[in-house]
Amino acid sequence: MHSTSLDTGRSAIWLPIFAGLCASLVSIGLARFAYTPLIPSLIQAQWFSASDVVYLGAANLVGYLIGALLGHPLARRTSNKTALRLMMLAVTLAFFACAFPLSVSWFFGWRLLSGIAGGAIMVLVAATVLPHVPASRRGLASGAIFLGIGLGIAGSGTLVPPLLSLGLQNTWLGLGALALILTAASWFGWPSSVANETAAPHAQHTKSPFDPNLYLLFAQYAFMAAGLVPAMVFLVDYVARGLGAGPHVGALIWVMYGLGAIVGPVSYGFLADQLGAKLSIRLVLVVQAIAVGLLAISSSFTALALLAVILGSFPPGIVPLALARVHELVPQHHQQQVAWSRATVSFATFQAIAGFAYSALFNASGGHHGLLFVIAAGAIVVALVLEQALRLLKLKDRMMPMSCS
């Protein structure tokens, strides 16, 4: 009797995880990342000017910040399950709407909405799914949920080029159809109720304890966001137009970025399980700072392909890593949710600011990609230095009482 219920429990776990994977795939994997390989075509087809296309890319990042702030209030008004379903429908609708370039503001509005949905899903999906997963498997489960981002990046690199041969409008319609299929596939996969601890009425009033390490994580996560934007937005354009390699080579490099994105969540999650999240974050930051810096001076296909794999692992990989760090620092479930929400908001804020700042700098510098990559490497170095700064502050605080005595 007991073993039967255990088997049923096991088989029930993968359904919410699958729904979570579909949600991250549609709302971030496709909604944000399918836009990158479309940039050269949007300019060539004269749907929008080069400067407009870049700002339209940033609209999704601004929406992501709004969504990160609205996610929990929306879930409280409805339920986590309803909010997640609504957000997936919103993204799907935005894809279909983007097939019709009526005006820059129309396009901006829909790109903004898809970003809002992505931000809301990001703060809700782990809180909805993970309480139903045994604690021993949560690291792997969060890796599996955010694997959707990686699959979306890889999918955008492999799906967009053949879709583009059918025309730009059909590409958007095709992406909309895929989003609709994934929304339908995940519809009944969401847990019918979130574990009691998640829905506890006093959860909203729980203050997260003032742990300097938690604020360090928020700051590091923010600078990671600033560091990943240039490769995420400009990589294909850098290879295709900046290096003059053409859209085909650009798309190939984006596929390599996508491969990295598939490997990222699970391998970073595994790393956090083995070494702890703190050390893993440090290691990952060192590797990423070097990779982004090298991107500014690399032009051979082999070097670019290798760097693309390393860089691609970063955006989806740091999500389970930061989530694991939150779980290390904050013991209580309500507080974990509050902390994760704040981490996502700090990430989204810097990502949105960086999106517009890099866009403005790109236009002001006459399309100088290398400059953006150097600044991005600097942002990742700052994330690394912050940890050392906190350590020095703690050491100083310890020394003060000693010197006084």
Q: What is the CATH number of the domain that holds 135?
A: 1.20.1250.20
- Please tell me the chain's helix, strand, coil percentages from 3-state DSSP, rounded to the nearest 5: 85, 0, 15
Burial status of residue 6 (CB atoms within 10 A of its CB: 0-12, 13-18, 19 or more): exposed
Residue 155 inside a domain? The answer is yes
Residue 196 inside a domain? The answer is no
First to last CA, the chain: 66
Q: What's the domain count of the chain?
A: 1
For the beta carbon of residue 368, count every other beta carbon within 10 angstroms.
14
Q: Which residues contact 263 (CB under 8 A, 6 or more apart)?
A: 150, 309, 313
Residue 201 inside a domain? The answer is no
Residue 382 inside a domain? The answer is yes
Residue 197 inside a domain? The answer is no
Residue 2 inside a domain? The answer is no
E-strand ranges in 280-381 read none
Residue 3 inside a domain? The answer is no
CB 292 within 8 A of CB 311: yes
Instruction: Output b/e per residue, 299-315; b: 16+ Cβ within 10 A.
Output: eeeeebbbbbbbbbbbb
Residue 4 inside a domain? The answer is no
- Structural domain including 47 reads 9-189+206-404
Q: What is the pTM of this model?
A: 0.82
Of the candidates 399, 394, 401, the one whose C-alpha atom is nearest the C-alpha of residue 213 is: 394
- pLDDT tens per residue, the chain (405 residues)? 444 344 445 567 888 999 999 999 999 889 988 887 788 788 888 888 877 887 787 788 889 989 999 988 998 898 889 999 999 999 999 999 999 988 889 989 999 999 999 999 999 998 888 888 777 677 778 888 889 988 988 887 788 888 888 988 999 999 999 999 999 999 999 987 654 444 444 444 444 456 888 999 999 999 999 999 999 888 888 998 888 888 888 888 988 998 999 999 988 988 888 888 899 999 999 999 999 999 988 889 999 999 999 999 999 899 989 998 998 898 887 788 888 989 999 998 998 888 888 988 988 888 888 899 999 999 999 999 998 888 888 777 777 665 555
